[in-house]
Amino acid sequence: MSVIVKDPQGKIVLMCKGADSVILERLSKESLAGEVLRKTQEYVDQYAQEGLRTLFLAERVIPSNVYESWSKEAQAAKLEIVDRDEKVAAVDEKIEVDLELIGSTAIEDRLQD
């Protein structure tokens, strides 16, 4: 799940949360090789052992020209009549790349054993 926001300084930021396996595929090379990933994975493994539901959190600053181009493509995909969901997902995957891992969450999920 992702959201794109513009901060008060005008910086466009994509923020993403998801399963560690999904987010790992979207991380930048720098983030994959970084200390944040190693330490976060330790915590996530520990929390999972305790039965908690875990998610990775990542972000990416998007240059305005990249955002504008992607936004036009995303809007066109949302207007499609045939295979809309697949087309929207494909466009979304284009922007959810080169993410920087910023941490994780862990919650008790009372709906699952």
Q: Which residues of 40-56 are buried (b: 16+ CB within 10 A; e: fewer)?
A: beeebeebeeeeeebbb
- Over residues 48-104, the pLDDT tens digits come to 898 899 999 999 999 999 999 999 999 999 988 899 899 998 998 899 999 999 999
- pLDDT for 113 equals 59
Distance CA 64, CA 10 (A): 9
Contact 60, 101 (CB under 8 A): no
- pLDDT for 111 equals 66
Contact 110, 41 (CB under 8 A): no
- Reported in sequence order, the residue ranges of the chain that DSSP labels E, i.e. its strands, are 2-6, 12-18, 53-62, 100-107
- pLDDT for 108 equals 86
pLDDT grade, residue 7 (50/70/90)? very high
Where in the chain are the domains? 2-107
**Opening angle at CA 14, ends 72 and 102, nearest 5:** 165
**pTM for the structure as a whole:** 0.83
- pLDDT for 109 equals 73
pLDDT above 90 (res 16):
yes
Which 8-state DSSP code applies to residue 63? -
Instruction: Return the CATH architecture of domain 2-107.
Output: 3-Layer(aba) Sandwich (3.40)
